[in-house]
Amino acid sequence: MLQFLIKRNLSTLSTVMVLLWIFILPFLESWWYIYQIIQGNYAYQPDCAFFLCGNSVGIGHIFQGLYLWLIPLYCLVISSNDCLMDQERGYDNILISRIGKRKMLYRLLIKNFILLSVLVFLSLSLNLLCVHLMFRGGKYNPSEISALNVFTMFWTNHPLLNNFVHILITCIIYGIMGMFCCATSFYFRNRKTVYFVSIFFWLIEILKPGSLLLIFQPFQINSTLTETASGLLLFFVPAILYICILTRRSIYE
């Protein structure tokens, strides 16, 4: 059943287009770095050329903005559209009669988490591999300043590990947002409400003090372990509680 849901998701043109867009965005910035080198700029150190570092000059971090600010929109297209279309056509009732509401909802949540997190993991991991090959020998490091605390000093001294940890954080956040949008669409069954709730939650997370956007960036010299942990908890705890509550209510109501 899980395989069927993923295949059906991938048969939708809008979903495939969004998945491809998410996949290629990190590589567009790599080409921008190459263009800068051609123009006579310094070649970045490979770890500093990694997509999540956001060191592109002259374009206002547009690629990171498209990748991170619009996460709920991508998740809504991938996670919610098929649920909402099934509800509008009555196809969800057929699936529920075959496997039950509980199994259907759990498999939808798992499908969305796997699809989004694996896609982001592959995209960012390949980007990290590519920049290490493309910018091998590069020496420019815009973050080459004294670390302000033990936490940032550790990450500065282990840049590859730092980047990989942030890949994991990013792909898990994408997966959780996919589950968030799926649970919202299954419960509210109204496109406008689903889009409003999902986007509103994300805006709170990225616009509040200690924005979640800062946690995506590997070389945040002012961050501390406490700030990073609290920022992640302030996303994961309400998001997971929300998913659990809406899932339970969707099953038993």
Beta carbons within 10 angstroms of residue 212's beta carbon: 20
pLDDT-based confidence at residue 71 (cuts at 50, 70, 90):
very high
The neighbouring-strand residues paired with 44 are: 140
In percent, the amount of the chain with pLDDT more than 90 equals 38
Dihedral (CA of 31, 37, 38, 40) sign: positive
> Exposed e or buried b for every residue in 25-51, given b needs 16+ CB within 10 A?
bbbebbeebeebeeeeeebbbbbbbbb
The residue behind tokens 């903005």 is: 65
Angle, helix 101-134 to helix 159-188, in steps of 10 degrees: 150
And the tokens for 185? 């669409």
The residue behind tokens 């805006």 is: 203
Q: Residue 153 and residue 160: Cα distance in Å, rounded?
A: 14
| Residue 142 confidence (pLDDT) above 80 | no
Listed range (17-21, 137-141, 169-173, 204-208) with the worst mean pLDDT: 137-141
Listed range (34-38, 106-110, 145-149) with the worst mean pLDDT: 145-149
Contacts of 229 (CB under 8 A, 6+ apart): none
CA 75 to chain centre: 9
Where along the chain do its domains lie?
A: 2-252
| Cβ–Cβ under 8 Å, residues 42 and 111 | no
Per-residue pLDDT of 154-164, as tens digits, reads: 777 788 898 99
Per-residue pLDDT of 12-64, as tens digits, reads: 788 889 999 999 999 988 888 888 777 777 777 888 888 998 777 667 678 88
Q: Residue 10 and residue 118: Cα distance in Å, rounded?
A: 14
Q: Residue 160 and residue 207: Cα distance in Å, rounded?
A: 28
Rounded to 5 degrees, what are φ and ψ at 140? -75, 130
> What does the radius of gyration of the chain's CA atoms come to, in whole angstroms?
20
* 106-116 mean pLDDT: 90
pLDDT value at position 149? 63
Q: Which amino acid is at 199?
A: I
pLDDT value at position 183? 93
pLDDT-based confidence at residue 110 (cuts at 50, 70, 90):
very high
Per-residue pLDDT of 209-224, as tens digits, reads: 878 988 898 877 667 7
